[in-house]
């Protein structure tokens, strides 16, 4: 949990830091798309391109925010799992269609928002990416999901699907300073992952939860909210890790 909130808000903050950012919404739920203020429009997603029609470059759309562009999603992406499964090399489709976008030199950072399940779309994102950024909710089962992710990453390495994939970092989110549980979980995760865990912890705030219904990232919705400050700090930490 916290993937889309992190993808949207981190993208927006990276853009305000002067980076040219592309947010690629790969989740049929299209929450990142609406989160930056775009309507779900039939035919606007990467669906057709994934099946071999047209170029992903033509799917890129501007947002209301300088430096932030998006490849939107819509519900048609639901069907892509089944369609892709029938084609050869289907694990590399996202990487293939992204390649002209990367080559174009138009973006400093491409952020992919993944669906909830570890299906073909998510595996495609893992196969295409340089790194994975994992948001972890401050709940007691946080570490369970991570052991599965570790296994998948090891598999991607061992099978040669993406031998260079790295864990950029783990960001603890929905932190509630009033509960012992939150502090305990952060402690445990830090013990486990050491400096892979970002210093910045994202607080649980109502403003972060309501901002998407206005189609705005938190820094454009309520820039004095603690969630906005946290995502700004996280963006700086992320840049330190991916640009050096």
Ligand X SMILES: Nc1ncnc2c1ncn2[C@@H]1O[C@H](COP(=O)(O)OP(=O)(O)OP(=O)(O)O)[C@@H](O)[C@H]1O
Radius of gyration of the chain (CA): 17
Find the shortest distance in angstroms from Cβ 210 to ligand X: 8
* Segment contacting Mg ion by CB under 5 A, of 1-9, 59-67, 173-181, 190-198: 1-9
Closest to Mg ion by CB, 26 or 201: 26
Distances (CA, A) of 199 to 14, 29, 156, 159, 202: 17, 30, 27, 32, 10
Sheet holding 61-62, edge to edge: 61-62, 68-71, 21-25, 109-113
Find the shortest distance in angstroms from Cβ 27 to Mg ion: 5
Find the shortest distance in angstroms from Cβ 227 to ligand X: 6
Q: Longest Cα pair distance anywhere in the chain, in angstroms?
A: 52
The b-or-e profile of 84-120 (16+ CB within 10 A means b, else e) is beeeeebbbbbbbbbeebeeeeebbbbbbbbbeeeeb
Closest to Mg ion by CB, 187 or 214: 214
Question: Which single residue brings its beta carbon nearest to Mg ion?
Answer: 4
Q: How far apart are CA 10 and CA 217, in angstroms?
A: 9
| Contact residue for Mg ion among 2, 4, 71, 235 (CB under 5 A) | 4
Find the shortest distance in angstroms from Cβ 115 to ligand X: 6
Closest to ligand X by CB, 100 or 116: 116
Considering only residues 29-48, where is the footprint of Mg ion by CB under 5 A?
31
CB distance 49 to 26 below 8 Å:
no
Q: In the complex, which residues of this chain contact ligand X (CB under 6 A)? A: 1-5, 27, 29, 31, 116, 173-174, 202, 204-205, 208-209, 212, 227
CB distance 93 to 127 below 8 Å:
no
Instruction: Work out what residue 25 binds among ligand X, Mg ion, none; the CB cut-off runs from 5 to 8 Å by kind.
Output: none
Find the shortest distance in angstroms from Cβ 50 to ligand X: 19
Instruction: Work out what residue 33 binds among ligand X, Mg ion, none; the CB cut-off runs from 5 to 8 Å by kind.
Output: none
Interface characters, 71-90, with Mg ion (x: CB under 5 A):
--------------------
Q: How far apart are CA 216 and CA 189, in angstroms?
A: 30
Which positions touch Mg ion (CB under 5 A)? 3-4, 31
């Amino acid at each position: 949990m916290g993937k889309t909130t992190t993808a949207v808000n981190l993208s927006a903050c990276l853009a305000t830091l002067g980076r040219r950012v592309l947010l690629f919404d790969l989740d049929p739920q299209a929450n990142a798309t609406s989160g930056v203020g775009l309507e779900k429009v039939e035919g606007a997603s990467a669906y057709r391109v994934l099946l071999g029609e047209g170029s992903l470059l033509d799917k890129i759309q501007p947002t209301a925010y300088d430096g932030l562009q998006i490849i939107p999603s819509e519900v048609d992406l639901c069907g892509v799992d089944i369609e892709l499964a029938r084609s050869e090399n289907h694990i590399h489709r996202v990487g293939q269609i992204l390649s002209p976008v990367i080559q174009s030199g138009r973006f400093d950072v491409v952020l992919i928002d993944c669906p909830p399940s570890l299906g073909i779309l998510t595996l495609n994102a893992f196969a295409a990416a340089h790194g994975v950024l994992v948001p972890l909710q401050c709940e007691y089962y946080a570490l369970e999901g991570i052991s599965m992710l570790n296994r998948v990453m090891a598999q991607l390495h061992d099978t040669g699907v993406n031998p260079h994939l790295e864990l950029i970092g783990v960001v603890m989110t929905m932190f509630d300073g009033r509960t012992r549980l939150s502090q305990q979980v952060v402690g445990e995760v830090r013990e486990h992952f050491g400096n892979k865990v970002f210093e910045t912890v994202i607080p649980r705030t109502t403003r972060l939860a309501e901002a998407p219904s206005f189609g705005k990232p938190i820094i454009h919705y309520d820039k004095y909210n603690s969630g906005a400050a946290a995502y700004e700090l996280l963006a700086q930490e992320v840049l330190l890790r991916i640009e050096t």
